[in-house]
Structure 1
């Protein structure tokens, strides 16, 4: 076989040296294919062996390979699986990453010719191109080097050009392409470079020439993969360490220690460090980088005027996947970032969709509760939303809760009226963040004072007995300082917040809607989010002294401006290891004073509301 291969190579070299025309070379290859059908496979087998040759090729061998591939392109219409299965397998098994640009171009010319001339092999041609989205396993590490990045650009630009050419020649090809791309998508446990480069190709398809057919499928699949990674990052063990803790405070509220490591070890609730490596740190890093890729893609969509189109797909994906994912931790920030890029369009649309999901009676309770949790968190955290819009959304929430009270003149029953309690908790949470901004604008203050909040809180349904005590405590503190309504002795000093009844629905079984847009703990992703985000540490409340204000009444919308420095919570991350476990523990806090005791101390400084409500470990709570 070795002598035959050498003879065959020599024959091809002689053909090149004799300056045969392309037609003559094609004729030679056609003869080999025709003889193979008749049982004479010598020349055919040598041709197949040539395509299987994977060792480093000499310049002459490269020239021979290019010549052979071009000749096969000219004879593509005569190639079929019945007689030339081995040849087709060799063609489809060639990785473009192993060759230079001359061979790549010849490969793609052949693949395009095969797809255009034989409908039976279109699937295989598309499969071969999709396989080349990712380099061979041994090549992954080279992607970190300049020569690896150069090869990546050479391969992928040609792959996508070939996909476009095939789509032009075979109109049904894009519909065949989508399921293949989804099917070959790397699983969450695959290596990070493999996932990232594959998603990069998917996003390239989303914005490419065939996006009208494949674009929405690609984007939805990318979000689904992020959710897969998201749910692998668990924090149940952390919650069990401190079941009574509801809020987590921002790190900048923690007293500064001289040594950062000392602070990391000492500021954990309950004493010394209890570091337990959070399962899935590597997964968190993958998710972080995938989100950054998606953010950058959204930037390019905005620049090209496509953000509205892409946002509609994201919104569809959000309602199908993210909203229903049990307490997604980070993926939802893709929606937040898209809204920040277009506040007047996407930003308002997202809030309206969330509100509609909550107010629609036909939706399941868990969907409505999740939607209002997203709405409350979004209205509280999105710096780009006009305060007048927030006030209008708040009024819709309060009016709905008030109407619910009028229609249900019954006593407290958390399981039967969980949607109502979620709505009450939502408007109280929003007011914790926005009350000062509202009362600083006379028109909005009047609107706020006219809302029937007090009748809701005093209703037989008893929302103050079921909603999160920490939210209620902060809300009532601010309401008292703002003179929002008359806080009576019966409202404040009764045992409702700390009664046995309250505790029965507290802790692990509490109606503890989480607030999805609490500060993002993924460092790279957070750097994109921060300019659009309101941090609790920067919120001005009615309890704050006017002397501490940095903005005038005419600049009320700017009171949430944060400093240029990174938030201390994010800066505490180690550059080399994403230890969410230790960060979450450092942020954990249990309120030590009940509401009634807090109000007995008139001179006590208003305590700041920590930034994050921790999710329950009980799925039934949603």
Structure 2
């Protein structure tokens, strides 16, 4: 800083005067030369402060830039004082001139000349430009003009110094606004990063990684429970169900602040994918561009999303882009299945991949039934092979040893539940018969009756609905096994389950007291720490990109189900009291699983059994020995 005494000592004949009417009467060449020759450094320091204070004077800034451009050769960073450069890069508010094309043009020309002469200024210049991606809330600022200026200048600087691309990634990451910043600021920043990704194809993967990491941070800090609680109205009732949202709800801001920011940023990301994958004029899919973006997103998914605990929405980016062509969805399934079978994949990886496969097959409307059946066939084959190798050894009761097996079994059950209409209840009776024969050839009864007992470790809702569907269609009989499991709830051996729970747990901490009895017995309602990554999408505005290709659960067997008589209900209650541990304990725990299937009450399984018994329906146990006779086509 220059003191007032030092300023007063300046020569009255100096090249700079402080009179208000003579702001433009300065000789920049003489000031810089005097500084470089150690003749009058005080005058230079005074001029730096003068420019900083008078930065709102457009005529002054215009003259300053015009003169400085011709003195670029004197701005050698090894000799020249950096105070003036720092004022230019960091302290002058260039947004004040967002509507002044003349000054922006002069500034652009100066930056090009400066960085062409001395590439050591490139990093500082890039930092200033990337900072312009943050929206300014002043009314007289044209933010779009500043965004365009910054984008164009970054492209010019990379042409001047190609090695500066590495600086762009570091600066974009370090300057990314924190998740509690205003929504409009975060929206403008991610838009500009995606524009950079579109221009610099070789940096797109790195920029995707930055965007995905920041999205994940918001996603895991706005849980499904918190979002649903915030969306409650004054009467503590949900405003609208996800699958019945009105057009107004699709544009309504989220009440949860972090969810609202995530909603806006996910909309920006979805729109970017749509614009780059489809031709703007013809609307046709640009396959080369789509395939390239898909590869980058898949790499990012594998690196960040797959193993992120508590993510509820960011994974839908892969769900969305895979809807563009069947080859992409099949490729995504192939990636998950290969990762599941990889020799170097640990138990956690296999478990997570199985949950992604199951949720994806169940929820993606664009996946044809043939692809679903082919994937189920692969999983069934793996399960039977596992039973042959491990079904008769002495460690069949070791839960931790067989976690992967139990997770994949539950995945198969889950997909069958969601695809039950296509498998067993289509309008074509001959097709239904073929499908039933095909499913019977999978010998599900052998799986559920194996010593590994997969039904014991399934989620209660999955177990109940799978039992009812397979019973009605004569595929398998689960009720006797479920009853036996309810009467003999054994503790889970081993302690490695703690390791998985650090990464994936679908249980809410608030439910600990509710399920204390089940935990004391050593068997919780979610022993596999199950989760379904493609559970209903809760964000209002970005949901529009998902809902057209998303399957909502509909239970065909609930539509015409008759209510059981009071005597049957009394009999069911007495049977529950006679059992050692009773039926599965809490509906609250099932509701915490956040699936559409949780809408069913606890006694629907027993009702189905009683209805079937009334009709004297006998299950044909010989239906499981038939061979696989129908191809997947």
TM-score (norm 2): 0.73
- CA distance in structure 1 between the partners assigned to 2:487 and 2:193 by the alignment: 53
Match of 1:434 in 2: 419
Match of 1:389 in 2: 371
Query: How big is the shift at 1:498?
Result: 5.8
- CA distance in structure 2 between the partners assigned to 1:282 and 1:498 by the alignment: 46
Q: Would you say the 8 A contact 1:391–1:438 is kept in 2?
A: no
Query: How big is the shift at 1:582?
Result: 12
Match of 1:264 in 2: 237
Q: Would you say the 8 A contact 1:30–1:78 is kept in 2?
A: no
> Residues 287 and 236 (structure 1 numbering): CA distance in 2 closer, same or farther, change over 3 Å?
closer
DSSP 3-state at the match of 1:164: helix
Q: Would you say the 8 A contact 1:66–1:106 is kept in 2?
A: yes
- CA distance in structure 1 between the partners assigned to 2:485 and 2:593 by the alignment: 33
Q: 2:282 aligned with 1:309, yes or no?
A: no
Q: Would you say the 8 A contact 1:327–1:514 is kept in 2?
A: no
Q: 2:266 aligned with 1:291, yes or no?
A: yes
For residues 313-353 of structure 1, the C-alpha deviation after alignment (integer angstroms, 9 at most, x for no partner) is: 1111111111111131111111111112x232322211211
- CA distance in structure 2 between the partners assigned to 1:424 and 1:405 by the alignment: 11
Structure 2 counterparts to residues 22-421 of structure 1, below 5 A: 29-39=28-38, 40-41=40-41, 44-45=44-45, 47-53=47-53, 56-57=56-57, 62-81=58-77, 82-93=79-90, 94-99=92-97, 100-135=100-135, 139-140=136-137, 142=139, 148=141, 151-208=142-199, 210-212=200-202, 214-234=203-223, 262=235, 264=237, 281-303=256-278, 305=286, 306-340=289-323, 342-409=324-391, 410=393, 411-421=396-406
- CA distance in structure 2 between the partners assigned to 1:140 and 1:130 by the alignment: 17
> Residues 488 and 320 (structure 1 numbering): CA distance in 2 closer, same or farther, change over 3 Å?
closer
Query: How big is the shift at 1:79?
Result: 0.4
RMSD: 3.7
- CA distance in structure 2 between the partners assigned to 1:373 and 1:585 by the alignment: 13
Query: How big is the shift at 1:232?
Result: 0.9
For residues 451-477 of structure 1, the C-alpha deviation after alignment (integer angstroms, 9 at most, x for no partner) is: 132111110000011111210211121
Q: Would you say the 8 A contact 2:436–2:475 is kept in 1?
A: no
Q: Would you say the 8 A contact 2:233–2:239 is kept in 1?
A: no
Q: Would you say the 8 A contact 1:73–1:110 is kept in 2?
A: yes
DSSP 3-state at the match of 1:523: coil
- CA distance in structure 2 between the partners assigned to 1:175 and 1:512 by the alignment: 40
Match of 1:496 in 2: 485
Q: Would you say the 8 A contact 2:134–2:188 is kept in 1?
A: yes
Match of 1:246 in 2: none
Q: Would you say the 8 A contact 2:17–2:25 is kept in 1?
A: no
Q: Would you say the 8 A contact 1:227–1:328 is kept in 2?
A: yes
- CA distance in structure 2 between the partners assigned to 1:471 and 1:602 by the alignment: 20
> Residues 266 and 518 (structure 1 numbering): CA distance in 2 closer, same or farther, change over 3 Å?
closer
Q: Would you say the 8 A contact 2:227–2:256 is kept in 1?
A: no
DSSP 3-state at the match of 2:218: helix
Correspondent of 1:462 among 446, 449, 453: 453
Query: How big is the shift at 1:70?
Result: 2.5
DSSP 3-state at the match of 1:501: coil
Query: How big is the shift at 1:29?
Result: 3.8
For residues 89-123 of structure 1, the C-alpha deviation after alignment (integer angstroms, 9 at most, x for no partner) is: 11112232122332222222222222211122121
Q: Would you say the 8 A contact 2:177–2:185 is kept in 1?
A: yes
Q: Would you say the 8 A contact 2:369–2:422 is kept in 1?
A: yes
Out of 495-504 and 420-429, give the one that drifted further.
495-504
Structure 2 counterparts to residues 469-548 of structure 1, below 5 A: 469-485=460-476, 487=477, 490-491=480-481, 494-497=483-486, 499-501=488-490, 504=521, 506-507=523-524, 510-536=527-553, 539=554, 541=556
Query: How big is the shift at 1:32?
Result: 2.9
For residues 379-415 of structure 1, the C-alpha deviation after alignment (integer angstroms, 9 at most, x for no partner) is: 0000111111011011111111111111102433321
Query: How big is the shift at 1:55?
Result: 5.9
Correspondent of 1:599 among 609, 621, 628: 609
The unaligned stretches of length 5 or more in structure 2 are: 1-6, 242-253, 280-285, 492-517, 562-590, 616-633
Query: How big is the shift at 1:491?
Result: 4.1
Query: How big is the shift at 1:505?
Result: 5.6
Which fold has the larger relative contact order, with Cα–Cα distance below 8 Å and residues 6 or more apart in sequence? 1
